[in-house]
């Protein structure tokens, strides 16, 4: 690009305030190790190795043959997708919503979560951000010129964000809180009484809840994850995000939806009008097809995640780690010995034994002291990874 006569533009203060995205550098490091002939086991990203449902592949295949599917979807998108998402919410959570005013298709839930902040925050407004947490809560807030207030999720409070503990002066400026249960990365779940008191608190303080629910179908041992809208009064203060990514192993298809108050949904749609022109309509047709059979399609995936969890946990424990048994998500949140920095452990795991994990610190300062394992590869490889990680632990 030399000689084009354009000076390098300075980065915005907003962007400069953000760290490198946690997973941004891992693919390059992994590639380097693979080129060097290393046997790498990747349990980093929450991106399982299972194929998507056959129903999705067939629906996409059929849909692309229709030239109408190649047109812009705009914000309306495919009505059948909206209707299938609303029908799923009704069946699964007994939540009734208008598919055209209270529900909105997203290009994966990530973009909706990020863009929501642009719709509801002004400079000086605070968003409560759980740490450890999905990086987009912090990033979306900062990019929207909002002010993140980080709350540490710890075992002391069962990894729940307790609104009562937020200082008064912060609360007065708080417009938004991000909640995510079943939780990434801690795998914590939220008891119903917690959700009830949180909704009640947010109603009293006029705070919008962004309830991020992409793991609601990946649950074990009889646990069933709720929608925030099962709580009375939540419809006044919440917007919920759903995704086809994790439930149906369709991360790359980029499809999700937001559901909630019509005015908040309309505000999000207004932002998106200036940012995107809708998910590929054929992908929305595939999304509608899987949602129609959601409960049946998730079952084999959940069974395999559970099998992986149950195979890996004893090996981790036998190698000096003390993880809890998660009741949901595809993650194990593993404590490290006192004083061992998670980034240093992750580096040793990657470079010494070829295991890609994510350090707790990648999820914000509150994640220090832990690392995350994603159950995204075959059981024998997970067992092997646990043994290799044990060697790193023994050597530090
Ligand atoms: C907590 C949480 N929310 C949202 C997402 C975004 O998922 P997607 O954009 O694929 O729907 C992820 C993905 O890792 C996540 O872990």
Ligand 1 mutation target, pool 114, 187, 189, 246, most atoms within 8 A of CB = 246
Q: Which atom of ligand 1 approaches the CA of 243 most closely?
A: 11
- Whether the per-residue pLDDT at 33 is higher than 90: the answer is no
- For ligand 1, atom 2, the nearest C-alpha belongs to 134
- Say what angle helices 294-318 and 281-292 make with each other, to 10 degrees: 80
Distance of CA 67 to the CA centre of its chain: 33
Cis upstream peptide for 182 (omega within 30°): yes
247 Cβ inside 6 Å of ligand 1: no
Question: Could you give the C-alpha distances from 121 to 32, 75, 115, 175, 176, in angstroms and in order?
Answer: 41, 21, 10, 7, 8
Regarding beta strands 355-356 and 41-42, do their DSSP bridges make them parallel or antiparallel, or are they unpaired? Answer: parallel
Mean local confidence (pLDDT), 144-151 = 96
372 Cβ inside 6 Å of ligand 1: no
- Whether the per-residue pLDDT at 29 is higher than 90: the answer is no
State how far the Cα of 206 lies from the Cα of 186, in Å rounded to an integer: 28
| Nearest alpha carbon to residue 265 among 103, 81, 96 | 103
CA–centroid distance, 89 to ligand 1, in Å, is: 18
DSSP 8-state symbol, 159: T
- Whether the per-residue pLDDT at 3 is higher than 60: the answer is no
CA–centroid distance, 386 to ligand 1, in Å, is: 25
Residue 26: its pLDDT value, please?
A: 76
Listing DSSP states for 313-377 in one string gives HHHHHHTT------SBSSEEEEE--TT--HHHHHHHHHHHH-EE-EEGGGG-GGGTTEEEEE--S
The answer to whether 118 and 352 have CB atoms below 8 angstroms apart is no
- For ligand 1, atom 16, the nearest C-alpha belongs to 184
Domains in the chain: ranges and CATH: 13-51+296-395 (3.90.1150.10), 54-294 (3.40.640.10)
Residue 38: its pLDDT value, please?
A: 87
- For ligand 1, atom 14, the nearest C-alpha belongs to 46
Q: Roughly how many angstroms between the first and final C-alpha of the chain, as a whole number?
A: 45
186 Cβ inside 6 Å of ligand 1: no
Q: Using CB atoms within 10 A of its CB, is residue 192 exposed (0-12), middle (13-18) or buried (19+)?
A: exposed
134 Cβ inside 6 Å of ligand 1: yes
323 Cβ inside 6 Å of ligand 1: no
Q: Which atom of ligand 1 approaches the CA of 251 most closely?
A: 10
DSSP 8-state symbol, 46: S
pLDDT digits (tens, 9 = 90+) for 172-216: 999 999 999 999 999 999 999 999 999 999 999 999 999 999 999
Ligand 1 mutation target, pool 45, 107, 110, most atoms within 8 A of CB = 110
The answer to whether 125 and 107 have CB atoms below 8 angstroms apart is no
240 Cβ inside 6 Å of ligand 1: no
Q: What are phi and psi of 92, to 5 degrees?
A: -80, -40
CA–centroid distance, 153 to ligand 1, in Å, is: 18
| Nearest alpha carbon to residue 293 among 66, 104, 48, 54 | 54
Residue 129: its pLDDT value, please?
A: 98
251 Cβ inside 6 Å of ligand 1: yes
The answer to whether 349 and 357 have CB atoms below 8 angstroms apart is yes
Residue 2: its pLDDT value, please?
A: 53
212 Cβ inside 6 Å of ligand 1: yes
Listing DSSP states for 199-231 in one string gives HHHHHHHT-EEEEE-TTTT-B-TT--PPPGGGS
pLDDT digits (tens, 9 = 90+) for 70-127: 999 999 999 999 999 999 999 999 999 999 999 999 999 999 999 999 999 999 999 9
Listing DSSP states for 356-373 in one string gives E-EEGGGG-GGGTTEEEE
- Whether the per-residue pLDDT at 380 is higher than 90: the answer is yes
CA–centroid distance, 214 to ligand 1, in Å, is: 6
CA–centroid distance, 283 to ligand 1, in Å, is: 17
213 Cβ inside 6 Å of ligand 1: no
Mean residue pLDDT across the chain: 95
- Kindly report the pTM of this predicted structure: 0.95
180 Cβ inside 6 Å of ligand 1: yes
110 Cβ inside 6 Å of ligand 1: yes
Listing DSSP states for 68-98 in one string gives GGGS--TTT--HHHHHHHHHHHHHHH-----
Q: Which atom of ligand 1 approaches the CA of 244 most closely?
A: 11
- Whether the per-residue pLDDT at 65 is higher than 70: the answer is yes
DSSP 8-state symbol, 19: P
Regarding beta strands 238-243 and 256-260, do their DSSP bridges make them parallel or antiparallel, or are they unpaired? Answer: antiparallel
108 Cβ inside 6 Å of ligand 1: yes
Q: Which atom of ligand 1 approaches the CA of 134 most closely?
A: 1
CA–centroid distance, 31 to ligand 1, in Å, is: 24
Residue 229: its pLDDT value, please?
A: 98
Listing DSSP states for 217-285 in one string gives T-B-TT--PPPGGGSTTHHHHEEEEEESTTTTT-GGG--EEEEE-HHHHHHHHHHHHTT---S-HHHHH
Low-confidence winner among 33-37, 158-162, 304-308, 385-389 (lowest mean pLDDT) = 33-37
Buried b (16+ CB within 10 A) or exposed e, 194-213: bbeebbbbbeeeebbbbbbb
Helices and strands (DSSP H and E) totals, the chain: 14, 12
The answer to whether 152 and 171 have CB atoms below 8 angstroms apart is no
């Amino acid at each position: 690009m030399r000689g084009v006569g354009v000076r390098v533009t300075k980065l915005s203060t907003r962007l400069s305030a953000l760290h490198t995205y946690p997973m941004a550098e891992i693919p390059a490091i992994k590639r380097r190790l693979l080129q060097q002939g290393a046997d790498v086991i990747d349990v980093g990203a929450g991106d399982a190795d299972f194929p998507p449902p056959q129903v999705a592949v067939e629906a996409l295949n059929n849909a692309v043959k229709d030239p109408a599917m190649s047109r812009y979807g705009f914000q309306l998108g495919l009505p059948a997708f909206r209707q299938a998402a609303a029908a799923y919410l009704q069946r699964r959570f007994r939540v009734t919503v208008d598919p055209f005013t209270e529900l909105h298709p997203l290009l994966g839930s990530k973009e909706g979560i990020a863009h929501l902040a642009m719709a509801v925050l002004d400079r000086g407004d605070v968003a409560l951000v759980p740490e450890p947490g999905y990086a987009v809560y912090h990033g979306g807030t900062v990019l929207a010129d909002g002010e993140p207030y980080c709350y540490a999720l710890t075992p002391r409070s069962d990894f729940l964000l307790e609104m009562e503990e937020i200082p008064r002066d912060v609360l007065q400026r708080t417009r938004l809180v991000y909640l995510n249960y079943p939780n990434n990365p801690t795998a914590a779940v939220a008891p119903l009484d917690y959700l009830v008191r949180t909704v009640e608190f947010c109603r009293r303080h006029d705070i919008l809840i962004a309830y991020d629910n992409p793991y609601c179908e990946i649950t074990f041992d009889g646990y069933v994850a709720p929608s925030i809208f099962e709580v009375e009064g939540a419809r006044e203060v919440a917007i919920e995000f759903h995704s086809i990514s994790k439930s149906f192993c369709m991360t790359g298809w980029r499809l999700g939806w937001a559901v909630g108050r019509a005015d908040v949904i309309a505000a999000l749609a207004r932002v998106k009008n200036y940012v995107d022109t809708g998910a590929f309509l054929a992908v929305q047709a595939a999304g509608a097809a899987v949602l129609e059979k959601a409960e049946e399609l998730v079952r084999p995936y959940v069974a395999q995640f559970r099998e992986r969890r149950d195979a890996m946990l004893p090996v981790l424990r036998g190698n000096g780690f003390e993880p809890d048994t998660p009741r949901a998500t595809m993650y194990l949140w593993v404590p490290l010995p006192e004083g061992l920095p998670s980034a240093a452990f992750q580096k040793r795991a990657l470079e010494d034994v070829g295991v890609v994990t994510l350090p707790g610190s990648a999820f914000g300062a509150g994640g220090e002291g832990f690392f995350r394992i994603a159950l995204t590869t075959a059981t024998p490889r997970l067992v092997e990874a646990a043994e290799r990680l044990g060697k790193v632990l023994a050597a530090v």
